[in-house]
A and B are shown apart, each in its own frame.
Chain A
Amino acid sequence: MAKVQVTMKVNGAPAEGLVEPRTLLIHFLREQLNLTGAHVGCDTSHCGACTVDLDGRSVKSCTMFAVQADGADILTVEGLAAPGGTLHALQEGFREMHGLQCGFCTPGMLTRGYRLLEENPRPSEDEIRAGIAGNLCRCTGYQNIVKAIQYAAARLAGAPVKEAAE
């Protein structure tokens, strides 16, 4: 099939490439743009390891063609930290609260957490759990991920953060 040109903004910088129409966005990001943070975990849009932020929405990039993202503004985990390298409050929170173990789901959790906090800066625990229900984690049991997002919410609001995990 003839390749088509796609152009998008990824982590604030222009990105473009030639793709087959069937090229999944996750493969475009990982293999053409070398942004390997987001992962493929399930292939059926259940696990959320491939989550990126696209035009202000959390999307599963394994269930979207790169052509569908033509013209979009995308944020991946690689774009979360400040340009100088300072970690985003969520990244800091995941480390402080032991919100990750093998790290495979983490990029998806972080980008999802980012959008969740953009929409709801002070979520309750139940809102966080519902908000990350499209992201599976096999290692943590989620409890410390919830704490990590709460940590980030507090940090972003300038409030004191709670005691670290355990």
Chain B
Amino acid sequence: MIPGAFAYHRPKTVKDAVAMLSELGPDARPLAGGHSLIPMMKLRLSSPAHLVDLRAIGELKGIRAEGAEVVIGAMTTQHDVIADSMLAARLPILRETALVIADPQVRYVGTIGGNVANGDPGNDMPAVMLCLGAVYQVAGRKGERRIAARKFYEGAYMTALEPGEMVTAIRIPVPPSGHGAAYEKLKRKVGDYATAAAAVVLTMSGGRAATCSIGLTNLAETPLWAEEAAKAVVGTTIDAAAVKKAAAAAEAIASPASDNRGPAEYRKKMAGVMVARALARAKTRAG
């Protein structure tokens, strides 16, 4: 499988990258890790005339704490996310999620920015970002703006990014210490997209869930923020009845396609099972 021809650009700054993307128009695509885009190009499902490689832009890399937030540069790889000790301590769900994305080679190259920005409903990080209430820092010709993850996804491969815009960083409000989180993913094998997956972040107080947020992966055209499912457990001990309610609420908003992972009906049910299991694990982890 051979990709079509394109012109290659390697800007050194975000400003230059944005200028190029705006100038070259819709035939240009930013290239991050490339592990979604390049296979699509090899299948000739995507034939951009220009690729703007972001790898030389130093300002897009790195993980840092900024007050109550953690800021992760868009070109930070999944491997970097897994290896970062600050993240492991403050946002362990990111490491847990990154570890079930693709395989080791892909994680060395695949970036968190690419994962959240390309709008592929099969990507794992978007649901986690919805769950965490992350905000994407976006650069465009008109300057910078911020878009809440929960408002970012509009359809399969359709996002709130305007032409010429790119995600430069992800800002994540750090949940309080003692929170419990889990990412539960059902897949056929390593390297697969989720049949269904659920991200849960919760806090417990006096044996009851004080707060809870739930995100779902690959169960609709976009990642889903399952508000009703989360509400079903807040104030409860996360007992069986509450979990059942949460699972049902998750199933109710899931509208997966039938594919080789299973018929829609099955995948919908798996949304509930993944939510139930993620809740159980998050609860045991909450301090």
Contact = CB atoms under 8 A, between A and B. Distances in A.
Given A64-B109, A65-B38, A133 B53 contact: no
Interface string B178-192: 000000000000110
Contacts, number: 86
A130 B191 CA distance: 11
B38 to A, nearest CB: 5
B39 interface: yes
B5 A134 contact: no
Contacts of B89: none
Contacts of B35: 45, 63
Contacts of A43: 1, 39, 42
B38 A134 contact: no
Interface in A29-50: 43-46, 48
Q: How large is the interface on A (under 10, 10 to 19, 20 to 34, 35 or more residues)?
A: 20 to 34
A133 B108 contact: no
Contacts of A112: 104-105
Contact of B105 (A24, A48, A65, A68): A48
Contacts of B108: 57-59
Interface string B30-65: 010011001101110000000101010000000000
Interface string B75-110: 000010000000000000000000000111110110
A51 interface: yes
B6 A22 contact: yes
Nearest to B5: A1
A106 B96 CA distance: 29
Contacts of A58: 104-105, 108
A134 B101 CA distance: 11
Interface in B204-248: none
Contact of B106 (A20, A45, A65): A45
B81 to A, nearest CB: 14
B53 A134 contact: no
B260 to A, nearest CB: 14
A134 B102 contact: yes
B8 A65 contact: yes
Contact of B191 (A1, A24, A131, A134): A134
Q: How large is the interface on B (under 10, 10 to 19, 20 to 34, 35 or more residues)?
A: 20 to 34
Contacts of A46: 103, 191
A146 B4 CA distance: 38
Contacts of A45: 35, 38-39, 105-106
B109 A57 contact: yes
A28 B191 CA distance: 26
Contacts of B41: 22
A21 interface: yes
Given A21-B8, A64-B34, A59 B105 contact: yes
A137 interface: no
Given A57-B79, A67-B53, A68-B53, A48 B103 contact: yes
B176 to A, nearest CB: 31
B105 A22 contact: no
A46 B42 CA distance: 14
A4 interface: yes
B6 A1 contact: yes
Contact of B6 (A21, A51, A57, A68): A21
Interface of A: 1, 4, 20-22, 24, 43-46, 48, 51, 57-60, 63-65, 67-68, 112, 116, 130-134
Given A45-B105, A133-B104, A134-B191, 5 more contacts: A22-B4, A58-B108, A65-B38, A133-B190, A134-B106
